């Protein structure tokens, strides 16, 4: 197989199976058993899984030691007041002690992996102070392996994890090196958290959920922040709930925009897997940065 495949190199049914595997509704054995019928040209089901899995080195855009940035690992107080949550913070080195607009970055359902660290650095290069908490902190943090990370994520106290992200927002707003304006961007699980935070935080200035679960429609009236909703085209699991939530947002007078990118799969912004769509990801990122600059300045 070529080293850099795209979604077009796979049967759509295999991509749907992979999405189910990634999100825990299908285990590894189930994926391999069902994907076997789509294996061809000497490629096994295990080969399909390996080809679809993340390649963090290939997707990295900003090196960890980029001299244009100042990065550090920090902790903040957990929601229950008895522990702490670890996270990764990045600022442009040229900013010095200047107060910057702040973006909370929320990972997918595998914790704070190298791809989300890279996203955090990208935001810093765009002029923001970006912070990405690791929801897996109570279980030892991101384990360095995506399969293990998914297993650990399933063990999380999800209610507490949501409150830990609420606590992260408060901690960031209180920092003296921020300008008092907070935005949030999240991907998949993190997109759902971004939506949730928009219903919980009246002082949130902007939210950008990428292909995240929509809240219940009755929650829409609580949203005070402008929303930029980024959806894939081929993503029935997420898209099915959007029309009802969109109608509720309209009824509540919430300022929002939604962009759905033709031909894209769930995870199209993640450049570590073949589901990545370079053109859509570039446009979505440009829109995200412009949205944050407009609302967090």
Q: Is residue 269 part of a domain?
A: yes
CB-based contact 274:5 (threshold 8 Å)? yes
Assigned domain for 1 exists: no
Residue 214 lies in a domain: yes
How confident is the model at residue 156, as a pLDDT? 95
* DSSP-based three-state secondary structure for 162: helix
Note whether 35 and 167 are same-domain residues: no
Q: Is 102 contained in some domain?
A: yes
Q: Based on the domain organization, do 18 and 130 belong to the same domain?
A: no
129 within 8 A of 102, measured Cβ to Cβ:
yes
Q: Are 28 and 170 part of one and the same domain? A: no
Q: Kindly state whether residues 43 and 82 are assigned to the same domain.
A: no
8 A C-beta contact, residue 262 and residue 235: no
pLDDT at 35: 87
- Going by their DSSP bridges, the two strands 129-133 and 206-210 should be labelled as unpaired
User: Tokens standing for 171?
Assistant: 């901690």
Number of domains, the chain = 2
CATH number at residue 286: 3.40.50.1820
161 plus 129 within the same structural domain: yes
Cα–Cα distances (Å) from 60 to 54, 81, 117, 208, in that order, read: 11, 35, 9, 21
Phi–psi pair at 286, nearest 5 degrees: -60, -40
Looking at the fold, whether 13 and 93 belong to one and the same domain comes out as no
27/44 same-domain check: yes
Q: What is the mean pLDDT of residues 261-269?
A: 96
Q: Tokens at residue 20, please?
A: 């189910």
Q: How far apart are CA 220 and CA 210, in angstroms?
A: 17
Q: How many Cα atoms sit within 13 Å of 84 on the Cβ side?
A: 7
What is the per-residue pLDDT across 115-165, written as a single tens digit (0 to 9) for each? Answer: 999 999 999 999 999 999 999 999 999 999 999 999 999 999 999 999 999
Q: Given 53, 72, 91, which residue is the final one in a domain?
A: 53
For residue 2, is it within any domain?
no
What is the pLDDT confidence band of residue 1, given thresholds at 50, 70 and 90? very low
Tell me, yes or no, whether 130 lies in a domain: yes
Q: Is 189 exposed, middle or buried (0-12, 13-18, 19+ CB in 10 A)?
A: buried
112 shares its domain with 198: yes
Q: Let me know whether 22 and 92 are in one domain.
A: no
Question: Which residues have C-beta within 8 Å of that of residue 232, sequence separation ≥ 6?
Answer: 211, 238, 239, 260, 261, 264, 265, 266, 267, 268
Strands (DSSP E) contained in 188-282 are 206-210, 227-234, 256-265
Decide the pairing of beta strands 206-210 and 256-265. unpaired
d(CA 164, CA 132): 12
| Per-residue confidence (pLDDT) for residue 25, from 0 to 100 | 83
Q: If we measure between CA atoms, which residue out of 52, 37, 68 comes closest to residue 5?
A: 52
User: Are 182 and 213 contacting, i.e. CB atoms less than 8 angstroms apart?
Assistant: no
Rounded Cα gap, residues 229 and 220, in angstroms = 14
pLDDT tens for residues 20-55? Answer: 888 888 889 999 999 888 887 678 889 888 888 889
Cβ atoms within 10 Å of 73's Cβ, excluding its own: 10
Active site (catalytic) residues: 188, 235, 266
**Is 148 a member of any domain?**
yes
Q: What is the pLDDT of residues 198-207, one digit of tens each?
A: 999 999 999 9
CA angle 129, 130, 133 (to 5 degrees): 140
Residue with tokens 């990634």: 22
Domain span at 44: 7-53
Cα–Cα distance for residue pair 271/267, rounded to 1 Å: 9
**What pLDDT, in 10s, does the model give residues 76-100?**
999 877 799 999 999 999 999 899 9
Please indicate, yes or no, whether residues 267 and 152 belong to a single structural domain of this protein.
Answer: yes
pTM of the full structure:
0.94
- The token duo for 279 is 């053109």
Percentage of the chain modeled with pLDDT above 90: 82
Q: Quick one: 38 and 67 in the same domain?
A: no
Name the token pair of 251.
Answer: 């009824």
Predicted confidence at residue 81, as pLDDT, reads 79
171 and 239, same domain (yes or no):
yes
């Amino acid at each position: 197989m070529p080293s850099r495949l795209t979604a077009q190199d796979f049967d759509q049914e295999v991509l749907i199976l992979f999405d189910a595997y990634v999100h825990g509704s299908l285990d590894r054995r189930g994926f391999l058993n069902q994907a076997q019928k789509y294996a061809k040209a000497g490629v096994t089901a295990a080969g399909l899984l390996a080809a679809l899995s993340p390649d963090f080195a290939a997707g990295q855009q900003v090196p960890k030691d980029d001299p244009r940035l100042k990065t550090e690992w920090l902790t903040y107080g957990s929601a229950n007041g008895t522990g702490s949550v670890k996270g990764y913070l990045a600022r442009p080195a040229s900013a010095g002690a200047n107060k910057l607009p702040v973006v909370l970055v929320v990972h997918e359902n595998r914790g704070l992996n190298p791809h989300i660290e890279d996203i955090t650095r990208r935001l810093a290069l765009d002029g923001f102070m970006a912070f990405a908490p690791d929801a897996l902190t109570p279980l030892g943090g991101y384990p360095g392996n995506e399969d293990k990370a998914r297993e650990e994520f399933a063990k999380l106290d999800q209610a507490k994890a949501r409150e830990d992200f609420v606590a992260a927002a408060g901690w960031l707003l209180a920092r003296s090196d921020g300008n008092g304006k907070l935005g949030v961007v999240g991907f998949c699980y993190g997109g759902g958290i971004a939506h949730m935070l928009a219903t919980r935080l009246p002082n949130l200035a902007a939210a950008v959920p990428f292909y995240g679960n929509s809240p219940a429609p009755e929650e829409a009236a609580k949203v005070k922040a402008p929303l930029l909703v980024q959806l894939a085209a081929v993503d029935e699991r997420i898209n099915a709930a959007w029309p009802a939530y969109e109608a509720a947002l309209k009824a509540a007078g919430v300022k929002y925009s939604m962009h759905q990118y033709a031909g894209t799969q769930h995870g199209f912004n993640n450049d570590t897997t073949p589901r990545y769509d370079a053109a859509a990801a570039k446009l979505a990122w440009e829109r995200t940065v412009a949205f944050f600059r407009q609302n967090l300045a």
